Amino acid sequence: MTTIASRPERASIVNSVLAAAGLGYNNCTMTSQVFYRKWRPQTFSEVAGQEHVVQTLRNAIKSNRIAHAYLFCGPRGSGKTSTARILAKAVNCSESIDGEPCNSCDSCLAINKGSALDIIEIDEASNRGIDDMNDLKERVNYSPNILRYKVYIIDEVHMITREGANAFLKTLEEPPPHVIFILATTDPHKIISTITSRCQRFDFHRLSSIAVISRLAHICSKEGIEIDPEALKLVAKVTTGSLRDATNLLEQLITYYGNIISLAQAQAMLGISGDLRIRELARCIVAMDVSSGLKVINAVAGEGLDLRQFNRELVDYLRQLLLAKSGSSDMIDATSDDLAEMQKIAGGTTLDYLLNAIKLFSSVDLRMDTYSPLPLELALVESVVSQHARDKSANTDQPSGREWPSSRPAAPTLRINRPPEQARPASLVSRPPKVADSSTPSAAPHSQAADPIDQHRLSEPLKMDDPNDLRYLQEHWKDFINSMRGEGSGGNLDARLRHACEPVEIMGGNLVLGFYHDFHKSYIDNRKYLHIIEKKLKEVFGHTYTVTCILMQQGGAKSDLKPASSNHLVEAALSMGARIVDENAETEGK
CA–CA dist 77, 172 (Å, integer): 26
Q: How much is the pLDDT for 239?
A: 83
Q: How much is the pLDDT for 381?
A: 92
For residue 573, give Cα distances in angstroms to 160, 243, 369, 544: 78, 82, 64, 16
For residue 238, give Cα distances in angstroms to 245, 250, 501: 9, 11, 51
CATH of domain 7-203: 3.40.50.300
- Find the DSSP H helices in 506-548: 518-524, 527-541
Of the listed ranges 87-96, 219-228, 542-551, 567-576, the one predicted with least confidence: 567-576
How large is the average pLDDT for residues 260-284?
A: 81
**How do the domains of the chain map onto residue ranges?**
7-203, 209-270, 275-393, 429-437+452-580
CA–CA dist 154, 125 (Å, integer): 10
CA–CA dist 72, 53 (Å, integer): 9
Architecture of the domain whose range is 275-393: Up-down Bundle (1.20)
Between the two ends of the chain, the Cα-to-Cα distance in Å is 101
For helices 374-393 and 351-362, the axis angle rounded to 10 degrees is: 150
CA dihedral of residues 149, 150, 153, 159 (deg, nearest 10)? -130
**Top-level class of domain 429-437+452-580:** alpha beta
pLDDT, tens only, 279-333: 899 999 999 999 999 999 998 888 877 888 888 889 989 998 999 888 888 788 7
CA–CA dist 128, 161 (Å, integer): 6
Using only the alpha carbons of the chain, give its radius of gyration.
37
pLDDT, tens only, 18-49: 444 444 444 434 446 788 888 888 899 889 88
By the 10 Å C-beta count (0-12 exposed, 13-18 middle, 19+ buried), 470 is classed as: middle
CATH of domain 209-270: 1.10.8.60
| Residue 83 backbone dihedrals phi, psi, to 5 degrees | -65, -35
DSSP bridge partners of 580: 429
What predicted TM-score, i.e. pTM, was given to this entire model?
Answer: 0.53
pLDDT, tens only, 217-250: 999 998 888 998 888 888 888 887 888 889 998 9
Neighbours of 557 (CB within 10 A): 9
Helix (H, G, I), strand (E, B) or coil at 439: coil
Bigger pLDDT: 574 vs 24: 574
